[in-house]
Amino acid sequence: MNQSEWVAELSKLDGDAQIKEVYARFGVAIYFAQVLEHGIVNALTVFEFIPRASDFSSEEEWTLEYDNFVEGEFQNTLGKLVRKMNEHSIMDEQLRDKFSQAVQRRNALAHRFFGDSAEDFLSTAGRAKMIVHCEECREHFSNTDHLLEQKLAPIRSKYGIDEKKVEEVMSRMFEEAIAESE
């Protein structure tokens, strides 16, 4: 929706509900920034960890080193993850531009969004503007992650990690998460 459509939609809500909608859209945008971060860590795993699989003498050693690798990468900022990705073959101009914009958008959301939007937060039209901005960021993060996945798929497949394998692992992880929560 564009800003005028959001104004019309928000006008149906009271001020508190409008504010909740802004917070919700902000949360979704930041969530998608984190999805992109996870996608980059997955890509770095394919480039930097999986090629070393034969270095490990047991599955336990591999699992421990994998966990350490991933945990270490998640300690990095999005900017640092992007700089690390720049060293790898899939980084063409399109992906570099998308990543650069993603870092700028993510940092602006995380560090300045509400401060920069303080006046906008006071009106329905301003809240609509904030929501449109969050939705544009969400879309950018999502599109960038999809582009990364498209470019990474042929490289993953060299290691026997095709889409079916990814779906199997995701399904198993989902089932384990549900079992642990019960």
Output DSSP code: residue 120.
Answer: G
Buried b (16+ CB within 10 A) or exposed e, 116-152: ebeebeeebebbbbbbbbbbebbebbeebbebbeebb
Per residue in 117-163, pLDDT tens?
A: 999 999 999 999 999 999 999 999 999 999 999 999 999 988 888 88
Per residue in 4-55, pLDDT tens?
A: 998 899 889 899 999 999 999 999 999 999 999 999 999 999 999 999 988 9
Parent domain of 88: 3-181
pTM of the model: 0.89
Rg of the chain, C-alpha, whole Å: 20
pLDDT recorded at residue 18: 95
* Residue 68 reports pLDDT greater than 80: yes
Closest residue by Cα to residue 133 from 148, 120, 143: 120
Number of domains into which the chain is organized: 1
* Residue 169 reports pLDDT greater than 80: no
**Interatomic CA distance for residues 39 and 35, integer angstroms:** 6
How would residue 172 be classed by pLDDT, with cut points 50, 70 and 90? confident
